[in-house]
Amino acid sequence: MSTVWSCSSVLEQTPVGNRTDEAFWKSEADMQDAIAGAYSLLASRNLGMHDLFFDNQSDDHWRAGDHSEDEDIETGNSNTDNYKILRTYYDKYEMIGRANSIIINGPKVKDLGEISDATYNAIIGEAYFLRAWAYYRLLVIHGQVPIILEENVLANDYNVPKCDSPDQLRDLIISDVETAIPLLPITYEQGRANRGAAWALSCLIHLDHAEDYADAAHLNKVIEHGELVIANYPLAEDYESIFRLGNEVLPEFLFGMMNDPTWINGRFMTKHRGPRPWGMYSFQEPLTDLVNEFEEGDIRKGVTIISDGEFAQVGPDLLEHTSTLSQTGHSYYKYMSWRDDGEMISWTNVPILRVGQTYMNVAEAKIRLNGAGAGDTEINEIRDRADLDPISGGDIDALMHESRTEEAGENMRYQNLLRWHKAGIINLTTFFTIDKMYPTDFGRKVWNAPKNYYQPLPQADIDNGNGILIQNPAWVAGN
């Protein structure tokens, strides 16, 4: 029989349906495939849902749901092997890896002359942007993590120590964002990061970097890039439209998680909170403290939260929010909508970076640099859209109030609180009063600086690092 199949034909097989180094990185299509692969992580359970559970540390909502690892995060008592810590961590590195791959291999395609400069630049810009965004989320959650760049990939060296300080990570993120800004188009295809996204991310990272109350270098950068966002991307006229189906057409929508009804796994953010009997997963119930933050007449309240006695239009029916639906009497209503036949639309896109947030960033930077009233313009544009009267002489407290209502339920609150704590505006050690937590968490919730600035690194990677990766000392059991 060996004469029928010669040796070579039997033993010389090649992979079917998948490409090797020899066959990939040959064309524009390959680069488009690769960048789509990098974006696709946004639609994962880990980045599309679990990453949002870190805002459980804030005072906006309590965890609800039945997951003890959420309780640990919420009360400041994470175990190092908390699986949400691990999964959100490694999916960000997966995104970083795909971005690195494009940054390394993209030039090969360019050298072949198989891609136009404009397309090439945009994709490289997106790669830098996604890398920056992933590191930014790692920074917000962990403070210090290992930095994996092109040279690590080429040397196949992933077992590296964490960076020396959060600042080192911030500098990397700023560098990547600066690289991305000129490469990214002002307007781009829906679902792809445009230059506005890079500017907005720049605002966030510089704001995070400004640990002193009036850190001029970083706050000026926030204002510079924030004003470019404001100049180029108008606010949506209708606040609600940002959080309902079709939001991807809004210029305000800079960067987000794109959803699609054909995906099973891309639906988590829109489904994980909200009353269980209405078809959602009942995580994260707003606290009355957040509801009370909304001023009378603020249209954002009804968009963001539904409370006992209020009604939701579910298909043809009006459903009343009743007291058994949530422990707090409130449920989030952002990202929630139903089809006319009553089927829940769980494929609403979820904005991650949007212009409204940038207004708040710019206002904060101006107030911190130039004092009360400096941010009135930005605050009042936002208030105007919310159908609220303008303010004047708005101070940092007014900004914090406005920001809490504008960004409620958008996974921003805890990083804002932490920043304000570091800048000496509030003191988180005493901040969490009983009103700002779920009653049964009282006595359990702890917040100690600097330990609770950040979550621990995942134990699995500490273990796998075999001594190279060191846990944040505050999170080593016994410290």
Residues 368-407 as x/- pattern, contact with another protein by CB under 8 A:
----------------------------------------
The only residue of 77, 165, 313, 370 in contact with another protein, by rule CB under 8 A:
77
Q: What secondary structure letter does DSSP report for 450? A: T
Instruction: Quote the tokens at residue 51.
Output: 């990453």
The only residue of 26, 28, 81, 308 in contact with another protein, by rule CB under 8 A:
81
Instruction: Quote the tokens at residue 148.
Output: 């994996």
- Work out how close the CB of 457 gets to another protein at its nearest, in angstroms, rounded to a whole number: 10
The only residue of 108, 114, 119, 148 in contact with another protein, by rule CB under 8 A:
148
* Residues from 405 through 464 that contact another protein (CB under 8 A): 439-440, 444, 458-461, 463-464
**Residue 116 in the binding site for another protein (CB under 8 A):** no
* Residues from 322 through 351 that contact another protein (CB under 8 A): 324, 327, 343-344, 346, 349
Question: Could you tell me the CA-to-CA distances from 168 to 124, 355, 467 in Å, in that order?
Answer: 23, 27, 21
- Work out how close the CB of 366 gets to another protein at its nearest, in angstroms, rounded to a whole number: 35
Least Cα distance to 129 among 176, 97, 191 occurs for 176
Least Cα distance to 152 among 160, 164, 140 occurs for 160
**Residue 19 in the binding site for another protein (CB under 8 A):** yes
Instruction: Quote the tokens at residue 458.
Output: 């995942």
Contact yes or no for 137/51 (Cβ under 8 A): yes
Q: How far is CA 231 from its chain centroid?
A: 23
Helix (H) or strand (E) holding 354: strand 350-354
Contacts of 433 by beta carbon, 8 Å cutoff, 6+ apart: none
Measured CA to CA, the distance from residue 476 to residue 365 in angstroms comes to 35
**Residue 311 in the binding site for another protein (CB under 8 A):** no
The only residue of 93, 135, 199, 268 in contact with another protein, by rule CB under 8 A:
93
Nearer to another protein, 378 or 461 (CB): 461
- φ and ψ of 319, to 5 deg: -105, 130
Nearer to another protein, 6 or 370 (CB): 6
64-72, 199-207, 373-381, 423-431 -> range binding another protein (CB under 8 A): 64-72
The only residue of 107, 182, 234, 277 in contact with another protein, by rule CB under 8 A:
277
Instruction: Quote the tokens at residue 392.
Output: 């004047």
145-153, 214-222, 302-310, 407-415 -> range binding another protein (CB under 8 A): 145-153
The only residue of 26, 28, 83, 159 in contact with another protein, by rule CB under 8 A:
159
- Look up tokens 């040796």; give the residue: 7
Amino acid at the residue 216: A
Nearer to another protein, 38 or 388 (CB): 38
Least Cα distance to 294 among 217, 148, 165, 404 occurs for 404
Nearer to another protein, 190 or 377 (CB): 190
Nearer to another protein, 262 or 292 (CB): 262
- Work out how close the CB of 85 gets to another protein at its nearest, in angstroms, rounded to a whole number: 11
The only residue of 1, 111, 155, 296 in contact with another protein, by rule CB under 8 A:
1
Q: How far is CA 360 from its chain centroid?
A: 16
The only residue of 83, 90, 213, 453 in contact with another protein, by rule CB under 8 A:
90
Q: Using the CB atoms, write b or e for 78-99: b if 16+ within 10 Å.
A: bebebebbbbbbebbbbbbbbb
Least Cα distance to 355 among 363, 347, 367 occurs for 363
151-159, 178-186, 197-205, 416-424 -> range binding another protein (CB under 8 A): 151-159
- Work out how close the CB of 277 gets to another protein at its nearest, in angstroms, rounded to a whole number: 5
* Residues from 182 through 211 that contact another protein (CB under 8 A): 189-192
Residues 29-58 as x/- pattern, contact with another protein by CB under 8 A:
-x-xxxxxxxxxxxx---------------
Amino acid at the residue 219: L
* Residues from 228 through 267 that contact another protein (CB under 8 A): 248, 258-264, 267
- Look up tokens 């690195």; give the residue: 100
**Residue 146 in the binding site for another protein (CB under 8 A):** yes
Contacts of 452 by beta carbon, 8 Å cutoff, 6+ apart: 57, 76, 428, 446
- Work out how close the CB of 387 gets to another protein at its nearest, in angstroms, rounded to a whole number: 31
**Residue 83 in the binding site for another protein (CB under 8 A):** no
- Work out how close the CB of 463 gets to another protein at its nearest, in angstroms, rounded to a whole number: 7
Nearer to another protein, 152 or 220 (CB): 152
- Work out how close the CB of 121 gets to another protein at its nearest, in angstroms, rounded to a whole number: 17
Measured CA to CA, the distance from residue 262 to residue 432 in angstroms comes to 42
> Collapsing DSSP states into helix, strand and coil, what is residue 192?
coil
Contacts of 251 by beta carbon, 8 Å cutoff, 6+ apart: 196, 233, 234, 236, 355
Measured CA to CA, the distance from residue 387 to residue 441 in angstroms comes to 35
The only residue of 26, 108, 160, 308 in contact with another protein, by rule CB under 8 A:
160
Size of the site for another protein (CB under 8 A): 101
